[in-house]
Structure 1
């Protein structure tokens, strides 16, 4: 058992359940050691975790105080006297485990009981226990797990271990009964120790619930899109609704610069997401093919497993903007306008042409208008005044500039 610390354990013996401490294995000065709570030839056990805690808080000396991890262990809370479920050893129940068919749980239980029984025998220098384990090497196979006992040969070996235990285990238990010393403690302090153990359990349970709730909330905040092939590759499908039609394409950013699915300033667009995927499988002459993660997308596409997931942040609607501009600023959805303008700017930036700047030089009132509604640039002192038909016409020109970049529309 790989454990360099000290753990509380529960031992089920003939006269009932007992509690003590076990230091499974540690190395010191080049030698390997193991130990149990005790002093000299005595191995101390207690009727309850509370009694064990009372002893640990007393001034009585014991051998584990020389353990290199004792300081850290003794600084722990009251639960340092309470065994975890995996540290509970039903030693008298070993024959019953072996009488049943091998399963994950009872194979592990047998292996763990053999392990601690052998450790008890070695620490106490018990010849009967040491001879039992050294004379029956087949017992060590319990450590190999359930798979070792699968099939007819495995079942036969499980039965053989059962026969060894059936003949010899009572003697091992008798020896363990004689090895332990039930230690008495101050009875007046037991109730207080029980209360502190229960209080610490409740505090830890509440803390665990709070941590689980926090993990749950954090998990809920994780966007499912981030786990798609698109989110992992950082290449996004985008959906554009404009002039009564809807098209799909792809976009990413490389060093904060937009890159669209397209070439030479033409954005390759498709009237459905399925058409987009079909095209991708057959074509690779486009700017996105140069992106380092593009192969991740194509691996899934070539396997016939690529679906198009469009994140809400990548849905752009131009519908109704021209009409609303003509009605007046109060009718315009500034968020919709801003997102639409950002797509216009991305397309011009990727194409590397000066069309957008040239347009605003020729239509300065439109640039002021967009800045006023979206706050995209600082233009203090400007206020739109009617009529707004010129603004509407100018915005329609911007939309036309965008759709002219589309391969299909």
Structure 2
């Protein structure tokens, strides 16, 4: 019923509420074991979580020290000695659950009580508790959940469980009452333990508040593009502005290599994002069609719900670069130039031709200029000098080479 190895629990018996530790079934050396906090003489019970923690901190001997997960349990913050709501077991009040309908809450609570009570009876040798569960197999159906009692005969079986508990539960509780051994703990040590619990509780609350604040901040800073179909598919709309015109296309990267919406080295471009969206619905012969995530894009395109959103990182503007290059290095926006050259290189890489490299080899002065402007360590001794019209002309040649790859411009 639980994956936790050692659980702080609260038990309600005839004389009141008690706290202890429960180790549900675990396997060791091929055998199954279960245990509660105690020793050879019996079960250890405490009247508060602080007394339980004070006992554990005192170093006094107990059987759970041999549990394979004891060191992990000991390392937990002090406030985890306080049982969760689901680890509160009102054993004496179990019949009240059966007086109600077999709701999810009632059945799950009764299942937990049955589980712990049976384990407690077996570990402590409470014969009447052990005999009660061994004699009534129908009690095991409670662990199947509320759905088990939803059928035609469900209420009848639930009532039968109620009659069984009503007739024998008193003996079960009395047999467990006989096992009660409340351990005396020094008051000063108990107060110190309570201080540790309170401090750990405050630290946990502060950590939760900090985590919630960080999550809210991260949500504020999250880029909506990441949750769009483009972010999910890993395919980006691209807007390219040069020589007074803008065109739209798509680009992605597969194993680090660029892939454009296009075919045979021609990039399919469109003057508006609406035309791009409409074209996608009617055409599937392009390099993106085989991509594993392309279907995500087309599902929305075919439904007329595809929004062509261009992230700022995928907007490329060449406006004014030619004129700035002619003025001199200080007039050039190197970030704009770097992004522009990135697109030149991506287009050539995707087209698998040497046009860009061949041009730069044929124009070594331009190659040196780009290395200088873009921060390359190659030709470190080179410094551009006027006139710069050769560089501006060469850059316009590179723009023209890119335009020639466009289907429309």
Q: What TM-score range do you get, normalising by the shorter chain?
A: 0.7 to 0.9
The answer to whether the 8 Å contact 2:249/2:261 transfers is: yes
The aligned counterpart of 1:6 is 6
The answer to whether the 8 Å contact 1:50/1:190 transfers is: yes
Change (3 A) 1:216 1:153: farther
TM-score, L = length of structure 1: 0.83
Deviations 1:297-323 (A, max 9, x none): 556655766544433322111233334
The answer to whether the 8 Å contact 2:23/2:36 transfers is: yes
Give distance in 2, aligned partners of 1:352 and 1:30: 63
Deviations 1:46-104 (A, max 9, x none): 10112112322345444434444445544555446432333221223433434444444
2:177 equivalent to 1:194: no
Q: CA deviation at 1:408?
A: 1.7
The aligned counterpart of 2:85 is 85
The aligned counterpart of 1:319 is 319
Q: CA deviation at 1:183?
A: 2.0
The answer to whether the 8 Å contact 1:41/1:124 transfers is: no
Give distance in 2, aligned partners of 1:332 and 1:149: 78
Moved more, 235-244 or 338-347: 235-244
SS of the residue 2:83 aligns to: coil
Change (3 A) 1:65 1:338: closer
Moved more, 369-378 or 85-94: 369-378
SS of the residue 1:10 aligns to: strand
Give distance in 1, aligned partners of 2:243 and 2:99: 77
The answer to whether the 8 Å contact 2:108/2:143 transfers is: yes
The aligned counterpart of 1:258 is 258
Deviations 1:258-313 (A, max 9, x none): 33222222111123334334333433322334556545655665576654443332
Give distance in 1, aligned partners of 2:318 and 2:244: 9
Give distance in 2, aligned partners of 1:59 and 1:66: 14
Q: CA deviation at 1:350?
A: 2.6
The aligned counterpart of 1:383 is 384
Change (3 A) 1:28 1:253: closer
SS of the residue 1:343 aligns to: helix
Q: CA deviation at 1:407?
A: 0.8
The aligned counterpart of 2:335 is 335
The answer to whether the 8 Å contact 2:129/2:173 transfers is: no
Give distance in 1, aligned partners of 2:210 and 2:148: 41
Deviations 1:119-151 (A, max 9, x none): 122223323223332343333222222333446
2:318 equivalent to 1:279: no
Give distance in 2, aligned partners of 1:59 and 1:395: 79
TM-score, L = length of structure 2: 0.83
Give distance in 2, aligned partners of 1:370 and 1:68: 65
The answer to whether the 8 Å contact 2:372/2:382 transfers is: no
SS of the residue 1:395 aligns to: helix
Which residues of 2 match residues 1-400 of structure 1 at below 5 A?
1-3=1-3, 5-58=5-58, 60-74=60-74, 76=76, 78-79=78-79, 81-150=81-150, 153-207=153-207, 209=209, 225-226=225-226, 228-291=228-291, 294=294, 297-298=297-298, 301=301, 306-360=306-360, 365-376=365-376, 378-379=378-379, 380-386=381-387, 391-400=391-400
- For structure 2, the residue ranges without an aligned partner over 5 or more in a row are none
Q: CA deviation at 1:357?
A: 4.0
Change (3 A) 1:365 1:61: closer
Change (3 A) 1:352 1:36: closer
Give distance in 1, aligned partners of 2:135 and 2:313: 71
Q: CA deviation at 1:341?
A: 1.8
Deviations 1:318-375 (A, max 9, x none): 2333344455544432211211121122223333444334544565554444444332
SS of the residue 1:180 aligns to: coil
Moved more, 183-192 or 347-356: 347-356
